[in-house]
């Protein structure tokens, strides 16, 4: 599929692309990204600065993709992730996970969430998860 060069980057960005801003509690900065645009990531000292830089980076990302004849990805509509999964474990692993959760004075569910988050690199967000930690912008 050919790139639609009749649309400007600003026209593309009117679509509901998923813009996410995540705080870094260690540095006090904010990282912003457009989830549909691989590698389109910026940082700022404030949420507003990170978002402003992200809009410029997204325009530049689209310009570069169009210059290379690439198709601009469509916005990802709200994902239908329920937050629920069914996981089958060997009995021995289930027992060890339950024991580890009890030792941490947490539920098995929260223990598994923390383990998965650690594996996918989201440990900081889970440990300090508060509603204001990750904000969707745009």
- State the Cα torsion 126-131-133-137 to the nearest 10°: 130
Question: Are both 88 and 44 inside the same structural domain?
Answer: no
pLDDT value at position 2?
53
* Domain presence at residue 129: no
Domain that holds residue 103: 82-117
CATH code, domain with 53: 3.30.160.250
* Domain presence at residue 1: no
Question: Are both 13 and 72 inside the same structural domain?
Answer: yes
Helix %, strand %, coil % for the chain, to 5? Answer: 40, 15, 45
pTM of the model: 0.55
Question: Are both 47 and 35 inside the same structural domain?
Answer: yes
Question: Are both 56 and 94 inside the same structural domain?
Answer: no
Q: How does residue 121 score in pLDDT terms, banded at 50, 70 and 90?
A: low
For 55-78, the pLDDT digits (tens) are 999 999 999 999 998 989 888 874
Return the minimum-mean-pLDDT range out of 32-36, 48-52, 121-125, 127-131: 127-131
Closest by CA to 20, choosing from 9, 33, 10, is 33
Tokens of 50: 């990170």
* pLDDT, average across residues 46-53: 93
* Domain presence at residue 2: no
- Per the structure, the count of domains in the chain is 2
């Amino acid at each position: 599929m050919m790139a639609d060069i009749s649309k400007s980057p600003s026209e593309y960005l009117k679509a509901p692309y998923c813009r996410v801003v995540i705080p870094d509690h260690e540095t006090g900065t904010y990282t912003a990204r457009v989830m549909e645009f691989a590698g389109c990531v910026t940082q700022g000292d404030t949420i507003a600065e990170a978002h402003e830089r992200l809009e410029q980076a997204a325009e530049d990302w689209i310009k570069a993709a169009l210059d290379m004849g690439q198709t601009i990805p469509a916005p990802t509509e709200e994902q239908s992730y329920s937050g629920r999964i069914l996981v089958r474990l060997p009995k021995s692993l289930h027992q060890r996970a339950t024991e580890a959760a009890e030792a941490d004075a947490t539920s098995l569910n929260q223990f598994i969430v923390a383990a998965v988050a650690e594996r996918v690199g989201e440990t900081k967000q889970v440990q300090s998860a508060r509603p204001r930690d990750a904000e969707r912008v745009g």
